[in-house]
Structure 1
Amino acid sequence: MPAAEAEAAAPLADDDIRDLLSSLPSHDHLVLAVSGGPDSCGMMAAFARWRDMGGAVPALSVACVDHGLRPAAAAECAGVVAAAAGLGLTAQILRWEGGKPASGLQEAAREARYRLLADHARAVGAGAIVVAHHLEDQAETVLMRLARGSGPLGLKGMATASRREGMDILRPFLWVPKARLAATAGAAGLVPVDDPSNRDPGFTRVRLRQMLPALADEGLDAERLAILAGRIRMIEDALARHAADLDTASRQQSVVPGTVVFDATGWLDRPFIDVQQLLAAVLREVAPDGARERLEALEALAGAVLMAIAEGGPLRQTLQGALVTVTAAGRVIVAREPPRQPARRSD
């Protein structure tokens, strides 16, 4: 086996683990999301070794979600509890109760998993959830977003730290190959389970995963896709600063709570992407629980706003649960969309 391939399949060394985990955001207590597969078992083993190194290590809890979709899932979660106990960690099984959707099952299961994990983390006093997303997961995410027609910024992939369900989500292994996590689990004596859904070609992510070896033969391997994601994330950070500068320069004081007002007369001199990014941020601010729209809808809104400013307005348009108004004087007003009135019946 070539040296590079051997390294990519070697267990994480103590120095690797220390470097990956000592730079995590500071929390007193972490919940490790462990499914029983090779990735999350490798993560659990890495955290147990980090704890054994001594030093300031947060309290660790393990949680395993039983989605109730496969008969074997209950036994697999019980195996996680036993494996965690063998490493000196406590574990809890979380169950997704109730009916399951006929379509969009993977997305619904993902939403349920994060909701259950966040509720459990709050219950045990943890400040963050750690997941075992790895290098190949990042590559698959980039490919999925590309296939769905995402704009350039959508190709930034997953972040090492994000927020979901009101809880910090940490991904310290995004640059670690899957094989190294699996080897780390094996070195700890753990026997991961095999979830057959990970090979089911009925799921888009699985089909893209099966394409990765062929893409790697052409030079587009998981590492290069992850590097692309990292470069685009840097571009997004720069654009976010541009949008924040535009916000500071044009936002006016509003007398109506929950309403944002801009003097947008200078927006025509700024790059289109700055205006689009600012509008996207303000929509999230005004209507944080609104539906997230596709890029095409945000582009159309930004274009309509700039045209209305150039032509002297007016414009009233709704998007993501917000109402965007452009006045003849070049002011842009963003407020939560008023509730729709029920249609009147004519007797």
Structure 2
Amino acid sequence: MSGPSPAVAEIRVAVRAALTARAALTAEAAGRTVLVACSGGADSVALAAAAAFVAPRLGMRAGLVTVDHGLQDSSSERAGAVAAWARTIGLDPVESVAVHVPEDGTGPEAAARSARYGALVDTAREHGAVGVLLGHTMEDQAETCLLALARGAGPRGLAGMPAVRELDGVGLLRPLLGMRRATTRAAAIESGFIPWDDPHNGDPRYARPRVRHELLPALIDALGDGVVGNLAQTARQLAMDADYLDRVATDETSLDVRVLAGLHPAIRGRVLHRFALDAGAVASALGHRHVDALDALITRWHGQGPVWLPGGVAVARVEGRLQKHGGKIPP
């Protein structure tokens, strides 16, 4: 009997490596559940099929969660079809979760992502899962890097999506970041489920589809197909640098301006960013200009008033220290 195709085998190897590493870091992982986040697209379908094969051979249960954002006609039927297919390949538990995507000012993409991750975390906790597998590929990572570059993001933004991220105590695992989208599509064809393409992924009103269908192909035409892997490699290198600098910054807790002034700007910026979040600033709206304004209280001091951060938080320099200010939001 012939073995799996090269595409299927490659994805199984990647999933095995991710689950083995997770089990080594998670107490009593054997026999516990891992969930696959599956939209019904080719990437997540291929990932789910691989997890159904690999997890039981590692002494783990593989389940699936599909999130219905309610943003398109027949989305609930599509989620139901994904769930029904998942059961046929032995995934258990299988959950179809409907979410409400609010108009919260962050934009439809960000709001949908926030609602989706909230549902994934809640479902993982409900089932005591050791982690949730996500189907992001090398192209997804390259697109993320380009979007961050366009926003003027720093190293942490350019580092893209981490292979492992802890979100509210739940591990989000991305075993396919080193894999091309063509591989996942080839594997999905063998899954027994016909994957679908989310129309939002081709909607030019959104930034990521424009990067996916216009910018990245243009870069490939100009620089060659290796640009995708090079962007992903850049993200990996920056992630390592950012992790190290973040650890160094975590060791610095002083808010004395003389101490802060003596830090390297790369470290001081991270200390100030963490201080702003601890003070109550809204993370999604906190940007470089806010951190730069805090830095001015240290390095460009001329008696200026407090710095106002997203969420109505003010920070002032008082007797040579930075501290949260108790004033009111200015009109």
Q: Cα gap change, 1:273/1:11 in structure 2, threshold over 3 Å: closer, same or farther? A: same
Q: Cα 1:109–1:324, aligned 2, differ >3 Å: closer, same or farther? A: same
Does the CA contact (< 8 Å) of 1:314 and 1:327 recur in 2? no
Q: Does 1:76 align with 2:78?
A: yes
- The 5 Å alignment of 1:2-81 reads 10-13=7-10, 14-24=12-22, 25-26=25-26, 27=29, 28-52=32-56, 54-57=57-60, 59-81=61-83
Structure 2 counterpart SS, 1:125:
coil
Residues 58-207 of structure 1 mapped to structure 2, 5 A cutoff: 59-90=61-92, 91-97=94-100, 104-164=107-167, 167-207=170-210
CA distance in 2, matches of 1:32, 1:15: 16
Q: How does 1:222-241 map to 2 (within 5 A)?
A: 222-241=228-247
The corresponding residue for 2:298 is 305
User: Which digits, 9 at most, give the CA deviation of each residue in 1:241-290, with x for residues without a partner?
Assistant: 3323433xxx3xxxxxxxxxx33323333222221111112222332755
Asked if the contact 2:43–2:135 (Cα under 8 Å) also holds between the matched residues in 1, the reply is yes
Alignment-mate amino acid for residue 84 of structure 1: A
Which ranges in structure 2 are unaligned for 5 or more consecutive residues? 1-5
Structure-1 separation of matches of 2:98 and 2:166: 22
2:252 match: secondary structure = helix
Q: Which residue type is aligned with residue 21 of structure 1?
A: L
Q: Please tell me whether the aligned partners of residues 155 and 239 of structure 2 are also in contact (alpha carbons under 8 angstroms).
A: no
Gaps of 5+ in 1: 1-8, 252-261
When Rg is computed on C-alpha atoms for both structures, the one with the higher figure is 1
Task: State the shift of 1:43 in Å.
Answer: 0.8
Quick check: 1:243–1:274 contact (8 Å CA) kept in 2?
Answer: yes
- TM-score with structure 2 setting the length: 0.84
Cα offset for 1:301? 1.7
Query: For the residues of structure 2 that align with 1:268 and 1:318, how far apart are their CA atoms?
Result: 21
Q: CA RMSD in A?
A: 2.9
User: Does the 8 Å CA contact 1:213/1:221 hold for their aligned counterparts?
Assistant: no
Q: Deviation of residue 148 (structure 1)?
A: 1.7
Distance (whole Å) between structure 2 residues aligned to residue 60 and residue 285 of structure 1: 37
Aligned in 2, Cα 1:288/1:23: closer, same or farther, shift over 3 Å?
farther
Distance 1:134 1:96, change over 3 A: same
Identity of aligned residues (%): 31
Q: Could you report, residue by residue, the CA deviation over 1:268-322 in whole angstroms, capped at 9, with x for unpaired residues?
A: 33222221111112222332755541112212221232223xx6x5753232454
Provide the rounded CA distance (Å) in 2 between the counterparts of 1:55 and 1:87. 17
Alpha-carbon contact 1:29-1:126 (below 8 Å) kept: yes
What secondary structure, in the 3-state scheme, does the structure 2 residue paired with 1:129 have?
strand
Residue of structure 2 in register with 1:258 after alignment: none
With 134-143 and 114-123 compared, the bigger mean Cα shift is at: 114-123
